[in-house]
Structure 1
Amino acid sequence: MATRRRRPERREEPLSRRRIVEAAIALLDSAGEGALTFRALAERLATGPGAIYWHVTGKDELLNAATDAVIAATMTTDTTSTAGTGAATPQEAIRTLALGVFDAIDAHPWIGTQLARAPSQSPLLRVFEHLGRHVQTLGVPHPTQFTAASALLNYILGVGGQNAANARGHHQHTSRTEFLNITATAWANLDADEYPFTRNVAHQLRDHDDRTEFLAGLDLILTGITTHQNPTDPTPP
């Protein structure tokens, strides 16, 4: 009787910081920040919490690394140099970058909180740095470059975070369409003397597209930046 040869067991990929971060992102996406513990992560990775601590010192570092990994991925479609390459204009590059961050926050709602929580950390600085380079390419005078880049950053994070919060809130009980219909109806029935404007735009709330409105608002800011700038001042040494 021929003996059956035992198939070699498949070797799992060794535990690494990259695998830990990827598992953390998946856990955050599925269950939120409150569910991210080293014990839960160890179960997902089929290892012990001590092995994870060898690569990551604590939850704060892990959250920052997860946020940085997602944000860094949005930078791959961003064009930081447009001169002489036939690539996007600075305005188009800013739109691409902004929409990438907006979509990232929409797909990973926990990111918005993390970006606001650690303004000095690399995930937020990645976005600010790239926005700043595009602002420079637009020819914005040096004294107002910080203001222009900050206005863009605050708009992106503010609208992106609010959109993610809205999605989390209404998806628990109803669809987006139903939520907007209910809210638009409530707006339309507000007191006409106290809320004349809100009543007048209620139908626009019902039919609006979040990404389209986001880009329209971004264009308003870009128009203001490019319209009201003075001739380019020399950058101080």
Structure 2
Amino acid sequence: MATRTRRPERREEPLSRQRIVEAAIGLLDTAGEGALTFRALAERLATGPGAIYWHVTGKDELLNAATDAVIATMTADTTSTAGTAAATPQEAIRTLALGVFDAIDAHPWIGTQLARAPSQSPLLRVFEHLGRHIQTLGVPHPAQFTAATALLNYILGVGGQNAANARGHHQHTSRTEFLDTTATSWANLDPDEYPFTRNVADQLRHHDDRTEFLAGLDLILTGITTRHSPIDPTPS
């Protein structure tokens, strides 16, 4: 009796740019940027690489589209949350910043992509929203660019470093074990050469990344509001 050859599963949905981007995000989250190839993506989508090229011209465009999809969803969610809560500009900035921080934590590859393409739409979305809140805060026009870029650089820098740390220590040990080992190393440094580092070793051991991120953000916001108090338009 002849054996039937099982045919490969056919796609139930037509291939679209959105489906390709969603599949790319899943591949990036599970295996990282190095694993994102059109061949691997074609296997996930049960299609051929040529069909993907019909919608996306190359890996750079795909990475940008994947980053933009995550950031667009995040900014929409945080803007909606801030708006319904009647938030102050400071609260809106905290919400936006924490949204980016959490997005980078959930999708570590995003931090690299945002830093790599400053002129692309994903980064501009974040910069635009920060700038609007800075304007609402009453920062004078000549200082708005500096304030917005200072916040953006802090958010991307800390978010990216946090994601890099997570990738590094999760390969070999838990976060708690990693921090405990590092804190112990700090505590045993030369007291004359590293007095401050030794003194804060226990704080490293027990710190929460999100709490520290927001505390640093508040330091910057306090500096912005202290240096650039809103101008009172009412004549004296």
* TM-score (norm. length: structure 2): 0.90
Q: 1:138 to 1:167 in 2, by over 3 A?
A: same
**C-alpha contact (below 8 Å) 2:9/2:46 kept by paired residues:** no
**C-alpha contact (below 8 Å) 1:190/1:199 kept by paired residues:** yes
Of 3-12 and 106-115, the range deviating more from structure 2: 3-12
Question: For residue 163 of structure 1, what is the aligned residue in structure 2?
Answer: 162
Could you tell me how far 1:24 is from its partner in structure 2? 0.2
Number of residue pairs the alignment of both structures matches: 236
Question: For residue 112 of structure 1, what is the aligned residue in structure 2?
Answer: 111
**C-alpha contact (below 8 Å) 2:93/2:130 kept by paired residues:** yes
CA distance in 2, matches of 1:229, 1:29: 40
Could you tell me how far 1:46 is from its partner in structure 2? 0.1
Q: 5+ residue gaps in structure 1?
A: none
Q: 1:175 to 1:9 in 2, by over 3 A?
A: closer
Deviations 1:96-144 (A, max 9, x none): 0000000000010000000011000000000000000000000000000
SS of the residue aligned with 1:78? Answer: helix
**C-alpha contact (below 8 Å) 1:98/1:156 kept by paired residues:** yes
Question: For residue 176 of structure 1, what is the aligned residue in structure 2?
Answer: 175
Q: 5+ residue gaps in structure 2?
A: none
Question: For residue 203 of structure 1, what is the aligned residue in structure 2?
Answer: 202
SS of the residue aligned with 1:140? Answer: coil
**C-alpha contact (below 8 Å) 2:112/2:160 kept by paired residues:** yes
Could you tell me how far 1:77 is from its partner in structure 2? 5.2
**C-alpha contact (below 8 Å) 2:11/2:46 kept by paired residues:** no
CA distance in 2, matches of 1:5, 1:199: 67
C-alpha RMSD over aligned residues: 4.3
**C-alpha contact (below 8 Å) 1:67/1:111 kept by paired residues:** yes
* TM-score (norm. length: structure 1): 0.90
Could you tell me how far 1:87 is from its partner in structure 2? 1.0
Question: For residue 58 of structure 1, what is the aligned residue in structure 2?
Answer: 58
**C-alpha contact (below 8 Å) 1:148/1:225 kept by paired residues:** yes
**C-alpha contact (below 8 Å) 2:82/2:92 kept by paired residues:** no
Could you tell me how far 1:39 is from its partner in structure 2? 0.5
Could you tell me how far 1:9 is from its partner in structure 2? 10
Q: 1:120 to 1:58 in 2, by over 3 A?
A: same
CA distance in 2, matches of 1:166, 1:39: 30
- The structure with the greater share of residues assigned to helix is 2
Q: 1:216 to 1:15 in 2, by over 3 A?
A: same
CA distance in 2, matches of 1:171, 1:83: 33
SS of the residue aligned with 1:83? Answer: helix
CA distance in 1, matches of 2:224, 2:185: 36
Could you tell me how far 1:74 is from its partner in structure 2? 4.6
Q: Sequence identity of aligned pairs in percent?
A: 92
CA distance in 2, matches of 1:163, 1:53: 34
Of 7-16 and 110-119, the range deviating more from structure 2: 7-16
Could you tell me how far 1:80 is from its partner in structure 2? 5.5
Q: 1:132 to 1:234 in 2, by over 3 A?
A: farther
Question: For residue 230 of structure 1, what is the aligned residue in structure 2?
Answer: 229
SS of the residue aligned with 1:169? Answer: helix
**C-alpha contact (below 8 Å) 1:79/1:87 kept by paired residues:** no
**C-alpha contact (below 8 Å) 2:78/2:99 kept by paired residues:** no
**C-alpha contact (below 8 Å) 1:132/1:145 kept by paired residues:** yes
SS of the residue aligned with 1:177? Answer: helix
Deviations 1:39-72 (A, max 9, x none): 100000000001000100000000000000011x
Q: 1:106 to 1:82 in 2, by over 3 A?
A: closer
Could you tell me how far 1:232 is from its partner in structure 2? 3.2
CA distance in 1, matches of 2:17, 2:108: 22
CA distance in 2, matches of 1:235, 1:97: 31
Question: For residue 137 of structure 1, what is the aligned residue in structure 2?
Answer: 136
**C-alpha contact (below 8 Å) 1:74/1:101 kept by paired residues:** no
**C-alpha contact (below 8 Å) 1:105/1:160 kept by paired residues:** yes
CA distance in 2, matches of 1:59, 1:83: 34
